[in-house]
Structure 1
Amino acid sequence: MQDDFQYVGFWARVGATVIDVIIILCITVPLTLMIYGFAYYDSTAIVAGPADILINWIMPAVAVILLWLKFQATPGKMVVGARVVDARTGATMTPGQAVVRYLAYIVSALPLLLGYIWISFDSRKQGWHDKIAGTIVIRPKVQGVEAVKFGADA
């Protein structure tokens, strides 16, 4: 079974993250605007109020954690065929691992995104958040892809 999968690298994960961020913004921005208006984006406050915490911090965290636990992936990871699994067993991560992984995103981001860049150099393509939570990101191995042919060979 292990031979059927490969680790998911940095750029595929960046693409997945971009998709996820766009989806999250499509949900959170209209809700935030309905409650706080455009003045929300002019404010220098870290938190505008209880609805801000709920919409922009708690809802995305709960959604991502639930998606990991139910589908082993967020929509972006689904698009690239990736799944987040327990690094030891390959099974769905535990709820504790999911919460730790989400919170560990902060650890990966704080030192100039070094914890994310680490994915490029790690043999198992783990970011710091993966190492902390004991997870890996995998997808089915690409096999039998036909080579590109040009000119007379085509």
Structure 2
Amino acid sequence: MQADELEYVGFWPRVGASLIDTVLMGAILWPLLTAFYGDSYWTTENVVQGPMDFLLSWVFPAVAVILFWVTKQATPGKMAVSARIVDAKTGSPASTGQLIGRYFAYYVSMIPFGLGFIWVGFDARKQGWHDKLAGTVVIRKKNRGPEPVSFGR
């Protein structure tokens, strides 16, 4: 696909994708965490309540997201907005190392106050700090619909 047929994916579509991913992950994890720890899980002040909590809340999401990125170049939320993650220099699929780095760079983007994510809204290439650190961009085809809009035929 030619570069002129692509566009960088901006802030709001990426927010939408993130919301979709959060709902899907929550639908999987919340019942499991409640089954293992009971309703009191949701009211405790402990960051991690036990080994299963660590696996379900920290390890599983990381593995799932990275596997989706490696195999599909996107999470389900990004797929819903027709977005994919690629290498910023070549446009080729990002390497596994880049994608693992990108995941852990999310923590950098969270500090302070999520500014690294908000950065997407102001950056010319729509890169968050995690994208910049990993050398990735999020792209999608222009004119994704069945036919571009045309008036006066």
Match of 1:35 in 2: 36
Measure the CA separation in 2 of the matches of 1:114 and 1:142.
30
130-139 or 87-96: bigger deviation: 87-96
When normalised by structure 1's length, the TM-score is 0.93
Match of 1:4 in 2: 5
Q: Kindly, what percent of the aligned residue pairs are identical?
A: 52
Measure the CA separation in 2 of the matches of 1:113 and 1:131.
15
Match of 2:15 in 1: 14
C-alpha RMSD over aligned residues:
1.4
Match for 2:148: what amino acid?
V
Measure the CA separation in 1 of the matches of 2:111 and 2:23.
22
Measure the CA separation in 2 of the matches of 1:53 and 1:85.
30
SS of the equivalent of 1:44 reads coil
Match for 1:146: what amino acid?
V
Match of 1:57 in 2: 58
Report the CA distance between 1:145 and its aligned residue.
Answer: 2.8
For residues 1-154 of structure 1, the aligned pairs below 5 Å read 1-142=2-143, 145-146=148-149
SS of the equivalent of 2:57 reads helix
Measure the CA separation in 2 of the matches of 1:49 and 1:99.
25
Aligned length: 149
**Which 4+ stretches in 1 moved above 2 angstroms?**
none
Q: Where does the alignment leave 5 or more consecutive residues of structure 2 unmatched?
A: none
Report the CA distance between 1:110 and its aligned residue.
Answer: 1.5
Measure the CA separation in 1 of the matches of 2:35 and 2:131.
36
Q: Where does the alignment leave 5 or more consecutive residues of structure 1 unmatched?
A: none
Match for 1:124: what amino acid?
R
Report the CA distance between 1:94 and its aligned residue.
Answer: 1.1
